[in-house]
Chain A
Amino acid sequence: MGILLHFLTYVCMVIFLFAVVAKFIQYKSMPLHVRWELYPVAHEGKKAHYGGSYFEETNWWTHERKPDRVSELRHMIPEMLFLVAVRKHNPLLWLRTFPFHFGMYILIGFMGLLCAGAAAQQMAGASLTAGGALFTLTAATGFAGTILGILGALGLLHRRLMDEDLKDFTKPADILNLLFLMAVFILILVSGISDNSFGGLTDYVRSVIFFDVAFMPGNAATAAAVVLGSLVVAYIPLTHMAHFVVKYFTYHNIRWDDTPNMRGSAHEKKIGEMLHYPCTWSAEHINPDGEQKSWLQVAVENPALKKEGK
């Protein structure tokens, strides 16, 4: 059984990594799109607070452009940690989604602490001492993360099922996602309560890190937490919950992408390439006969004059 459980965990971890990398590559390999920024753009530095841009200067192309990466971080870190945009635009949702997300962040930290505890345990050849700093911190994050996560998931489920505005837009997968994550939070919590303040999970993490694949958790809740926890890790990046990857692109590559196309730049080269992509849109004013035409060719055609035979 131990081998089977470890096999599941390893496979799910590999799926997670592959799915995240694949998603990243999928977005990264898409062609350079036209600019579609939305202000405020965080790296505009002093102008960011009111939404200004370098377009506010005359002859802007003659000025050196220095995107302010610190300003981006100042915006992005609170956005990721505290979901600032939801708090601003939808405070009622924030009351539910913030504990849900923050609970997950705490649980990611908890995973790190479990790994640290497992390593310490392996080196010492004995279990962590109850009352020690690492033991206490692990227990505190485990309990805090799961409780916040459960409260958030319950709040979100309630909203999905009861809110008239949301009901119509809720699909079976949304409910399953919340139930799945809530079940994992509950099992981790039960494991923490019933199995030596996450001592059982620390033992399992040690066995995963050090390939002690014969090890099998003695506590049923811990074993169940491992099974469902592994599955949820593999499941998340295969769903729309992969927005934790995509949000990087929606902000950096779309909302905040104000990189101008300067003469002789890499962008200009890419644009030159894309203008040679085939354009097969078939409306009468574009390419009704399905000819081999590039974007460059259709862009310099004048259908109004063509219609008149000029």
Chain B
Amino acid sequence: MSKPLKKQKQKISLNDFGKETEQLAHIDVAGLMDLPKPLDGPEPDWKPIREQAKKTYESELDDTLVLNLPRPKSKHEEKELVRKFLGGIEKLFDKHNNWTFLQPLVASMDHCARCQTCNAACHVYEASGCHDIYRPTYRSEILRRIYQDYVKPGGKYYGKWKSGQDIPLSWKTVARLGELSYRCNLCRRCAQSCPIGADNGLLAREIRKVFSQEMGFHTVELHDNGSMLQLKVGSSTGMNPEIVKDNVEFIDEDTSDKVGFKVTTPWDVKGADILLIHNAGEIMAWPDNIGAFSTIFQQAGLSWTMSSEAVGYDNINYGLFYDDVQFARVAVKHAQIAAELGVKKIVLGECGHATKSIMVIGDRVLAGDLNVPRESCFPLLWEITKSGVLKMDPSRNNFPVTLHDPCNVVRLMGIVKPQRNVLNQIAPLFREMTPHGVDNYCCGGGSGFAIHSGHNFQDWRFKIAGRKKLEQILTAFQDCIGPETNKYVCAPCSNCKGQIRDLIAGYELWKKAHITYSGLVELMVNAMTDCKPNYINWDEIV
């Protein structure tokens, strides 16, 4: 029997959503879900949002802020924004403007039974101490009522009957809804639990789409510094082709020193079997991951290349989280580059959203010559491990390892076993989290949150979005939780890795429990007997 969930005292009904209050919801940190040792002490309170930011942006939802909607200067401007929002919702239900998601959208809007079954599946809701506004159904129901009452033909006559109480439609309501769409990791665990198949994660994304595609509001991290920067210079990291090549050359040198033989990353090889596309964030933040891939592919004798064409060296596609058009633009660029190189297939590095973007969502965007075969790196890494072409000594990985399942490749793509097969072969102290596989919990960095830290949003990522994952990690290591044992969270996804890095740092888990994190390929190279030992260097972890 599972223990009863903690419940916040504050009650916020659907009818409260448009209220003329300064801040609608406050999450009491004492009411957050409890954490296991060594984090079983009190949680510090929220860092306040600066007064200047509150004056500049709509910040009346909860204790944090991420969308940065500028406050309108006049009532007229407010009305205009509300009109634009309703126009955007209308376009969501238009088969031309939203062919991409029309059927899933209509099914979820029309047939949710409001049974609240999905609430218990949501890590944000549970971790927050079951706060009303974080129910997966809450934002969907606000959207549904606005649609029923103000957009659907005849809504003003029967909307109340069909949807319950009216939601007053003001800019405040719209702005709060926009902000609330960024309190969901889009992990779709809620959809998995829905008996009918309604998808509240999808509805959160559809709200984001209206804000971006019609109103021009998006987070700076996903749009300006994300997809736009990628389309402008080649990568959301800001690296242009020359800088990427320089950086990878440096990584090659460093890796060569570490492994004890020359490692060279090939560039722009026409007709290679594989075009490997990394998340360029790895090049900046986790060069060992890039070096490990190059080492493995080289030693396994694969015919492969990286591309130095702008966008071709960065598999990120942030459009997945907020904008179908931006998504399509980046997916087309990736495919064009692969087609021009004449490679047999694209292999995606350890990045969950990028893998799903081009393999699943992009599958119905790319046609003709752009339909270049694409696969995740995990099956290939397992095939290499299984083949025995690389000599591995599992005792080099003789420390407890647990595996985080990135939602995008596991629950949303069904790639469950290959990465486990590798770990079972090379990590003798591997243990699963509970639950795992397709029932996993999001790391809390999903839908791009891992790159959002403005104002005090990092606080929200730590205390709420990442709390369930934190609980899972600590529980997996409870038998050796003390700092005398080095422990490794294998997080084979850049976004998840960023979130887990921040959680570990924010809660001082290296100091308190000697828990560190990294990807799958680092563990493989650490076990390779051709390489010098200690590719994972515990002494360098701070």
Contacts and interface: CB of A to CB of B under 8 A. Distances in A.
A274 interface: yes
Given A281-B325, A302-B231, A51 B363 contact: no
B338 interface: no
A86 B164 contact: no
A47 interface: yes
- Which of B120, B191, B196, B379 counts the most A-chain CB atoms under 10 A from its CB? B196
A55 B359 contact: yes
A139 to B, nearest CB: 32
B416 A299 contact: no
A169 B416 contact: no
Interface residues of A, number: 87
B325 A38 contact: no
Interface in A256-310: 258, 260-263, 267-268, 271-272, 274-275, 277-286, 295, 298-305, 308
Interface in B430-459: 437-438
A198 B60 CA distance: 61
Contacts of B284: none
Interface residues of B, number: 92
A33 B188 CA distance: 17
B243 interface: no
* Chain B interface mostly: helix
A30 interface: yes
Given A31-B102, A86-B195, A56 B326 contact: no
B509 interface: no
A168 B104 contact: no
A57 interface: yes
B329 to A, nearest CB: 6
B106 A168 contact: no
B473 to A, nearest CB: 21
Contacts of B414: 37, 39-41, 44, 47, 51-56, 258
Nearest to B91: A281
Interface string B37-49: 0000000000000
- Which of B101, B119, B213 counts the most A-chain CB atoms under 10 A from its CB? B213
Interface in A63-120: 79, 83, 85-86, 88-90, 93, 97
A279 B97 CA distance: 5
Nearest to A57: B379
B373 A33 contact: no
Contacts of A247: 111, 196-197
A295 B328 contact: yes
A242 to B, nearest CB: 7
Contacts of B195: 79, 83, 85-86, 89
Interface string B175-204: 000000000000010011111111100100
A33 B99 contact: yes
B375 interface: yes
B154 interface: no
A35 B364 contact: yes
B329 A301 contact: yes
B14 A168 contact: yes
Nearest to B229: A304
Contacts of A97: 115
A204 B364 CA distance: 53
B216 A283 contact: yes
Contacts, number: 264
A37 B359 CA distance: 12
B325 A50 contact: no
Interface stretch (B244-252, B285-293, B389-397, B405-413): B405-413
Contacts of A44: 414
A47 B380 CA distance: 18
B100 interface: yes
B161 A246 contact: no
B213 A34 contact: no
Contacts of B255: none
A242 B214 contact: no
Given A170-B164, A271-B365, A286-B325, A249 B415 contact: no
A174 B116 CA distance: 14
B379 A169 contact: no
B363 A261 contact: yes
B113 interface: yes
Contacts of B199: 36, 254
- Which of A39, A86, A282, A284 counts the most B-chain CB atoms under 10 A from its CB? A39
Nearest to A305: B232
Given A38-B411, A169-B116, A33 B193 contact: no
Contacts of B366: 261
Contact of B413 (A47, A53, A268): A53
A61 interface: yes
Contact of A251 (B197, B216, B328, B415): B197
B7 to A, nearest CB: 9
B188 A242 contact: no
B197 A304 contact: no
Given A169-B116, A268-B371, A275-B367, A55 B415 contact: yes
A289 to B, nearest CB: 14
Contacts of A305: 231-232
Contact of A271 (B194, B364, B412): B364
Interface string B355-395: 00001110111111001010110111001000000000000
Contacts of B152: none
Given A58-B380, A89-B121, A33 B103 contact: yes
Minimum-distance CB pairs A-B, first 5: A53-B414, A250-B197, A51-B438, A171-B164, A304-B232
5 contacts: A85-B194, A88-B193, A240-B111, A243-B111, A300-B329
Interface of A: 27, 30-41, 44, 47, 50-61, 79, 83, 85-86, 88-90, 93, 97, 165-166, 168-174, 240, 242-243, 246-247, 249-251, 253-255, 258, 260-263, 267-268, 271-272, 274-275, 277-286, 295, 298-305, 308
Given A89-B117, A271-B365, A305-B232, 7 more contacts: A86-B115, A165-B119, A166-B115, A262-B371, A268-B368, A282-B214, A298-B325
